[in-house]
Amino acid sequence: MATILRSCKIERSTPMPIYEYICKGCDHEFELLIRHDTTAACPSCEDENIERQLSLNAIKSSGTHSLAMRAAKKRDVAQGKEQMAAQREYELNHD
């Protein structure tokens, strides 16, 4: 049995880019697919007072990977300390 391959040309009348935004009302950061007839609004508070952020290309290398891992470890240590402090505070106030 032979397989017939047909080419399919996809035509797009207008591009639909994904932009990064930050809401000025609630400081929520989000990405949004914007079509030409769409009004952008914050998904958490539905405020239309949003600011488009500068998007950077994602580059992955051993250098960027090690920086990301160091930042993640630093963040995890800080979160652990905050959780420990919150647990201690809870235990002191709830005998």
Phi, psi of 23 (to 5 degrees): -80, 130
Q: What is the pLDDT of residues 51-75, one digit of tens each?
A: 888 766 666 788 888 888 999 999 9
What is the per-residue pLDDT across 5-40, written as a single tens digit (0 to 9) for each? 555 555 555 555 677 888 998 988 888 887 777 778
End-to-end CA distance of the chain: give it in Å, rounded.
77
Tell which wins on pLDDT, 13 or 91: 91
The pLDDT value given to residue 41: 86
3-state helix/strand/coil string of the chain:
CCCCCCCCCCCCCCCCCEEEEEECCCCCEEEEECCCCCCCCCCCCCCCCEEECCCCCCCCCHHHHHHHHHHHHHHHHHHHHHHHHHHHHHHHHCC
- Whether the predicted model's global pTM rises above the 0.75 cut: no
In 3D space, the residue among 56, 58, 28 whose CA is nearest the CA of residue 42 turns out to be 28
Whether residue 2 has pLDDT greater than 70: no
